[in-house]
Copies of this chain bind each other. A is one copy, B any other.
Amino acid sequence: MDNNICNRLPLGRSLAILAKTYYGALTKRLEHLEIERYYSILILIENHGAKCTQQFICDELKMDKVSMVRIVDYLIEKKYVKKVVNPKDRREHFIQLTKKAIEVLPAIHQAIDEVNSAALKGIAKEKQKELYSQLNSIQMNLAHLPSQKIYINYKKASKKV
């Protein structure tokens, strides 16, 4: 049997395992901050600026908006973000970083850098870039893949009708 995890399992399963292992390592480094797994949200807002609506965050992180309500509530309770109604469109709420979040972000980046460089150890810098671009390309390829059910092709012999 092949000892490469990607050959033993469906690609998506391998990716899920990687993601879980990565999250475990990262979350342990940051669990005392009480941001759970929500550092991605802080980083998203950090990158995108003061105009992140909940819907935007859901779209970027491929999460559903119902779950996002509670996550944002949690982050507000922990004082990492605040909600600001968009005066131009009062349906939208901008989720913005607080002073506390800004203070904490360097530690988050440090943890991510540590785990990233541990994860990518042994992979040359150019290869890392190539890997990132391949992963991005996979995501793009899958994002709008039409779905068609696959049916079982029973052999006539095994079907006694």
The residue on B at minimum CB distance from A136 is: B4
Interface positions of A from 1 to 33, Cβ below 8 Å from B: 1, 4-23, 25-26, 28-33
Contact flags A105-130 to B (C-beta < 8 A → 1, else 0): 01110111011101111110001001
Cα of A81 to Cα of B108 in the assembled complex, Å: 44
Name A29's contact: one of B60, B115, B147 (CB within 8 Å): B147
Interface of chain A: mostly helix, strand, loop or mixed: helix
Q: Copy number of this protein in the oligomer? A: 2
Interface status of A89 (Cβ within 8 A of chain B): no
Cα of A48 to Cα of B1 in the assembled complex, Å: 8
The residue on B at minimum CB distance from A23 is: B12
Distance between A6 CB and nearest chain B CB, rounded to angstroms: 4
Interface status of A139 (Cβ within 8 A of chain B): yes
Flag if B4 contacts A132 (CB, 8 Å). yes
